Every structure is written in structure tokens, then in C-alpha cells.
Structure 1
Amino acid sequence: MHKIIEKIFGWCYPLLRKLEIDDAIASYASLFINIVILCFLAYAIYVIFKFVLISLLVTTAKKTKTKFDDFLVTNKTAKYIAHLIPLLFIYKSVFVILNDFVYWETIFGKLVGIYIVLLILLIIRTIFNALRDHLKQKPRYSDKPIDSYIQVVMIILWVIGVAVIISKIFGINQKDLLTLLGAISAVIILIFRDTILGFVASVQVSVNDMIRIGDWITMDKFGADGDVIEINLATVKVRNFDNTTTTVPTYSLISDSFRNWRGMLNSDGRRIKRHILIKAKSIRFLNEDELQDLKKIQLITSFIDTRQAEIDKFNINNKIDKTLSINGRNLTNFGLFRKYITQYLENYPGLNKDMILLCRQLQPTQHGIPLEIYTFSNDKRFENYEYIMSDIFDHIFASIVYFDLEIFELPSEGKNVIEEE
């Protein structure tokens, strides 16, 4: 190949000398002509190989059953390889064209060599990305941290690549360079600790898709509650809802816990999860007269009729003595109230009926029995969400008296003084 390159670029200078052109002028003129020829040939080689490689890879991908070559096409591996071939041609040609210009030959040769190293790393990265995408399609590897493995390999390759680049720039032996880097690694880690931690965190945040710009996150430790507006190597900026800005160290996103509301914003509803406390002593069985009054509440009229018929049938068949309400089966004011709230929520227009909707009783506490509403609003905007939730609980507070139930409240100081007196 060296002889071919000499024939391509070695004709100009002798020809100019035969035309009795000055030696210095002939040298610079031949240099200019050879550079033009080199650029033209390099571009022609690039176009040809790009067309051939891409066409060959696309055709192969269509004919084969494996998806790996399809991902090679998607990640543009052939395009990067097509860049490498003319670059190797340029690298070999430099030493012929610049033979009389030693200084520029050295500089240009180093630059081309550095570019070749970077291009090889990019080609390897596209291959690994195609391998990653291919393995993620297989159920066997779908839950494996493939990104982390590839990331570690690429970090090692980049370290080696940087060592090769430094050795080319300064003419240092690669073994001596690696030995020197190993000796000063402890000092480097100490000096650039925050930068290294930020880099690791940035990679993990990016690979695991933990946060994106525009995400709403909450991080109580730093008082952050708002939208992410900037993600840097060392910090993440959050614009809070009061228009203040909180700066969070990037590393804290993987060392501390935080809440990302992206899933809620991408879902079909925003959760409402709130409870009220019912006084335990206000819960009791209902007699016939009270049931008749509660039947006037339209949302539970049919429920009371159906359930009471089932209860009466059970009590009669089992000859239950109903002189005491505790005997047999009975309806309670608390149970009917839960059913009423459930029916009210199912008829409320601001809730998503395709998601969980329930009114449940939680573990009793020293302050009473919690009655929790667990449902999802169909409007996720903050102000509308708060309005829907407040509207629901306004109705709950107002309707609870119809079931002769009481909400727990701590005694006021004035009341305590009166009782003591």
C-alpha cells in the first residue's frame, strides 16, 4: 500500500522541478496539490465505503432472523466504520505528503492518530449499544443491569483510550504512563472526589432514568419540592413551587431517598389518600326506625332494602332473639356511612372510576377509628386536585351527622378550664 500511496502523491514535486520551478515553491505547490488530492480521495473513499457498508448491513439485517444486526443499523455502526477507513488512508498518506515538512508531519500525524483512537472508541460504543438493545429484547436478560456492565467496560476502554492519546501527544511510553497514573490515583481521587462522585451519580441517574429535566421531585432533606430545571455534573437545580430555587448535589440522588412524581403525571389519575377520625363511642347498631329514616338518603336506599332483607332472613332462619340488638346480624351506622361515602365517590364526576376507589376502615388509634378515602382524581393539576379533594371532604364532614357519628377533636383549652372549675 505504501508504494501505491507514493505513486499517487509522489509525481507532483518531480514534475514541477522538471519545469524548472524553484525548489521551495515546488515543495509548497506539491504540498498544496497533494492535500487537495488527499481530501478528494478521502471523501471519495468515505462515500463509497459508506454506501457499501450501510447497504450490506441493511441487506444482511433484513435477511437474518437475529435482531442484533438491526440494532447495528439503528446505532449507525456502519457509518462510523466508513469514517475510519478514509482516516486510515489519510494517516498512511501523511508521512508521504509531509515527508519534507517534519514538524507538520509530526503534529498532523498525532492529530490523525488521536482522531482514529476516538473513532475506534465510538465504533466500540455503538456495537455495545446494539448488544445492549439486543439483550434487552430477550426475557432472560430483561431484568439484568446490562447498562451498568456496558458502562463499566466503556469506562475502562475510555481510560485506556485517554492513556493512548496522552502517550501520542507527549511521546510517553504507555506502560510508564499507566504506572504513573496508578501511583497518583489516590491523590487524584482525593482532589477530585466531588467531581468523581458527581460523575458517577450523573451516569447512574442517566442510565437508570431516575430524573429528567421537567420532572417534579420532592426531597425533604434539602427542602426541594418542584420541577427540575437543570442537571449538571455536580448539582441538580429544582425550581420550587414558591419560585425559590434549591440546589441539590447530584450524588445525593443516589445516596438519599427522593420522590419523583413523573409516574403520577404520566398516569390516568392523581391519588387522594386522606382519612378522618371517628369517635369509637359514637358507633352503634341501628334500630328499625333509624333505618327507615336513613332510607330517605337516595344513594343507599336500595342497599338498605337488600341488606336488611338478607339480615332478617338470616335472623329468622336461625331463630335469633332480637330483644337485644347485639344478637344475630345487624346494620351499624358506621357501616352504612362507609357504604354511603363509597356510593357518593362512585357518582362524583371528578374521579377516575377505572382506578382504585374505596372507603376503608384503618387500625383503631387512641384518637379514634380512621376512615380513609383512597381514590384517584381525573385532573392532576395541583389547584384542581386540591379543589376536588376539599369538595369531597366538605361533603363528608357535612353528612356525617345524618348517621349520628362524631368526628374526633382534641378538647380546646377553654373547655378544659371549664371542666376543671
Structure 2
Amino acid sequence: MIEESTRYFTEKFISLGVSETTAGYLNYLLLGLFLVILCMLADRISRLTMVRIVSTVAAKSKTHWDDILVEKKFFYAVAHLAPVLLIEVLVPIIFKGLPTFVDYVIRLNDVYLIVVVLIMLNRFLNAAQLILSDYQLFKDKPLESYFQLTKIVIGIIATVLILSVLVSKSPIYFFSAAGAMTAVILFVFKDTILGFIASIQLSVNDMIRVGDWVQMDKYGADGDVLEINLTTVKVRNWDKTISTVPTYSFISDSFKNWRGMQETGARRIARSIFINIGSVKFASPEMIERFKNIHIISKYVEEKEIEIAKYNQENEVDTSHVSNGRRMTNLGTFRAYAERYLKKHPKVDKNQTIMVRQLEPNEKGVPVQIYCFSSDIAWENYEAIQSDIMDHLLSVVPQFDLQVFQNPSGSDFRKLQGD
């Protein structure tokens, strides 16, 4: 049929006064235009037909993966194979009198085939990543890093194949040439290689997951991990800004992962109240009686008073001198009060450490540290609980004849001038 069409059009052109050679070329041009139109129609028809059929089947099926393949337009890419097959079959027949031209067209068609297959694989990998990310097993894994590396490897192979087709050399030739350029390749892909190694280490050692709260002061990152890919980790900070941190930095530098806090459901409170050393003293009998009226330590004060009296009596301590024997202090009683207050607080986790301890005195006085864990880890609630505890304890300090240390301010100097 093609030969008859060629003969017919050639005779027509000759009858119009065109030379036989020119008529042959015009005939090839006409058939070439016909082939281009046929390929465009084949591409259009195959896309419409395939996508419509596949979309209908995917909509009726109970599985989710086929819907994702449709969403990622995988079948659009598959439909582009139709014109490739037409060119591969028809070009050698239509242009059999032009072997050199046929060779070039077939090469370009092979290049186009490689590009189509590359697009198909990329879209398939995008769909596979989305499918796997829905499984609980892979939710905390750096899937994007692995898929990005796979795409890079496929891209390199596709590039080598394209060069091989264009210059008519074996792919092995280009891979052997690449061996001599190893140093250049390593330099160009340094970040990619380091990122891939880091993502594997992070995954294997379970150091970081998507959704973890991480803090990395060097890069100003303090928030939730949004994405772990081949070269960077994206962190959404609490002020809603996005920090981009090199993946390898999570291996080479130190960072803080708050996942343990989130998993236990408790968040640490560690605040100190600085007590003026000059206000620390032994508790007088009047102070002890006053302390007995404080509900949560009344029993403690009574038991402590009996314990101290018994000790002094057994050791025949001369209590007429204040430095002899054991005595209660206002600071020690305050620490006992603070500890019992924390243990009774409804928002303090009773299963975690609860402690009120005295740290080493410094130029600001005696630090009394409040150490406990909030049972609510939500940021706003946690801050409210912490503030509520500190508000109360700061307010109750004067009840123990203690003074909170504070650097002198302008109002303090004005009072001195007034005096």
C-alpha cells in the first residue's frame, strides 16, 4: 500500500512538470508529514483511550495504588509509547530509499523512547513513594532520600544510553570513561553521597524521623521535621519559618531530639529560685509554730521537730548555743514545702522524678531548683503549668522569712536616696 501510494504521488508530481528526483523528495516530504500527523493522532488516541479505561477501572477497584498511579499520570507516559512504535515500524518502510536518513530518525526515536521510559519510571517512583508513605512501617523512614537516589542512578543510566545511541558506541565505553573521572564525579556529587550515607545512618540508628521535634542551634532549627530527603532536612520552626539543614549535619554535628519527651508524655520543668543568702537562718520557735499552720507541711514540721529533739537529747547536745546540735532552717522547710506542693499538683507527672534541690551558691545567692515533669507536653499548656508553679512558689517564699535575690533596679536606688 505504501509503495503504491509512493508511486502514485511521484507520477502526479512528474505530471506537473517536476523532475523525477525532486518528485521523489516531495513524495518523501508528503509521506513524512503524513507520518507526523499519524503519530500525533496515535499519541492523542492512546492517551484518551488508555487514561479513560484505566481511570474507570481504578475508580471501581478497592485498591488504592492504582488511583495513585492515575493521579501521578503514569499512564499518560505509557501512552507516549504509541508514536514510538509507529516510527520504529513505518520509517524503514516509508524511507527505505534513504538509509542514512532512516538511521538518524531511528536513533532519535530511540532517544525519545529512552526519555519516555525515564518519565515513566520517575512517575512510577513518585507513586511508589506515596503508596509506601501510607504504611505505618515506612512513615518514619527517609523514603524521599532513597527514591531521589534511585532517580539519580536511573537518570545517569538514561544519559549514558542516550549518548550511546547518538554516537553508536557501547554503554560500557562511557562507563569505563566515567571510571577515569571518579574524582570529578565524587566532587560533583559529594553532597548527594554524604546525604545518602547520612540518611541511611539516621534511619538505621533511628536518630530522626519525620514528625520529630528537633533542635539544632547551629542552623537556627527548632521545630518539627517536615521532610528528610537526600541532601537536606526541612524543619518547621515554632515561629512557622522553615529551616533547611544539610542531612549530613545530623551525623557530624550535635542536635537535640525531643522524641523521648513526646513518647513518655511528660516534659521536664527545671527552674531555679535564687534565695538571698542573708535571709537564710535557723527557724525560731515562733517560726516553727507558724509553719505548723501550713497545711501541706504541718505533719512534716511536727515529725521533724520530734526527730531533732530526740537526736539532741540522745547526744546530750547543749541547745543553749544556737550552733550546737541539729535545728530546722527556714530554707530547708521551704524546700520541703515546695516538694510536697509539686507532689500534690494535678498537672505534675507523679511517675517521673520530683525533686527540689539546693545548687551551689553563687553571686546571685542560693539557687533552689524546682525539678519535675509536666504531664501535659503541649507547648501552651506546659508553659502555663510551669508559670503557675513558679508564681505560687515565688509568692510563698516570704512566708518562710526568705528573700528572693534580685539585682538592684532604679527604684531601689531611689528608695536609698529617699532614706
TM-score (norm 2): 0.58
The residue type paired with residue 108 of structure 2 is L
SS in 2 for 1:85: helix
CA distance in 2: counterparts of 1:341 and 1:363, whole angstroms:
13
Residue aligning to 1:52: 49
Residue aligning to 2:369: 370
- Residue-by-residue CA offset, 1:299-342 (whole Å, 9 max, x unaligned): xxxxx4xx86xx59xx9xxxx89645789xx9953343356689
**Aligned partner of 2:79 among 75, 79, 82:** 82
- Residue-by-residue CA offset, 1:356-412 (whole Å, 9 max, x unaligned): 9x99426664455521476689887xxxx99998998677545533344566899xx
In 2 relative to 1, CA 147–247 (structure 1 residues): closer, same or farther, beyond 3 Å?
closer
CA distance in 1: counterparts of 2:86 and 2:48, whole angstroms:
18
CA distance in 1: counterparts of 2:17 and 2:309, whole angstroms:
126
RMSD: 6.0
The residue type paired with residue 355 of structure 2 is Q
Point out the structure with max Rg over C-alpha.
2
CA distance in 1: counterparts of 2:234 and 2:244, whole angstroms:
5
CA distance in 1: counterparts of 2:256 and 2:94, whole angstroms:
61
Residue aligning to 1:252: 249
Residue aligning to 1:168: 165
**Aligned partner of 2:355 among 354, 361, 367:** 361
**2:337 aligned with 1:333:** no
In 2 relative to 1, CA 128–175 (structure 1 residues): closer, same or farther, beyond 3 Å?
same
Residue aligning to 2:272: 276
Q: Is the 8 A contact 1:217 1:224 kept in 2?
A: no
Q: Is the 8 A contact 1:275 1:373 kept in 2?
A: no
CA distance in 1: counterparts of 2:379 and 2:288, whole angstroms:
41
Residue aligning to 1:192: 188
The residue type paired with residue 158 of structure 1 is G
CA distance in 2: counterparts of 1:117 and 1:178, whole angstroms:
18
Residue aligning to 2:120: 123
Residue aligning to 1:350: none
CA distance in 1: counterparts of 2:93 and 2:281, whole angstroms:
100
In 2 relative to 1, CA 149–237 (structure 1 residues): closer, same or farther, beyond 3 Å?
closer
In the TM superposition, 1:22-421 aligns within 5 A as 22-23=19-20, 25-27=22-24, 29-96=26-93, 105-138=102-135, 153-182=150-179, 184-192=180-188, 194=190, 196-197=192-193, 200=196, 219-220=216-217, 222=218, 224=220, 251-252=248-249, 255-258=252-255, 273-276=269-272, 287-292=288-293, 304=296, 311=299, 323-324=306-307, 332-337=333-338, 360-361=354-355, 365-367=359-361, 369-372=368-371, 397=394, 399-405=396-402
The residue type paired with residue 71 of structure 2 is T
CA distance in 2: counterparts of 1:43 and 1:166, whole angstroms:
26
The residue type paired with residue 159 of structure 1 is I
In 2 relative to 1, CA 5–341 (structure 1 residues): closer, same or farther, beyond 3 Å?
farther
SS in 1 for 2:80: helix
Q: How many residues align?
A: 359
Q: Is the 8 A contact 2:273 2:394 kept in 1?
A: no
- Residue-by-residue CA offset, 1:147-192 (whole Å, 9 max, x unaligned): 566555544433332221110122212233333334x253334543
CA distance in 2: counterparts of 1:252 and 1:395, whole angstroms:
42
Q: Is the 8 A contact 2:356 2:369 kept in 1?
A: yes
CA drift of 1:203 comes to 8.7
SS in 2 for 1:21: coil
In 2 relative to 1, CA 135–30 (structure 1 residues): closer, same or farther, beyond 3 Å?
same
The residue type paired with residue 157 of structure 1 is I
Q: Percent identity?
A: 25
CA distance in 2: counterparts of 1:71 and 1:395, whole angstroms:
56
CA distance in 1: counterparts of 2:71 and 2:220, whole angstroms:
39
5+ long unaligned stretches in structure 1: 241-245, 265-270, 296-303, 347-352, 411-421
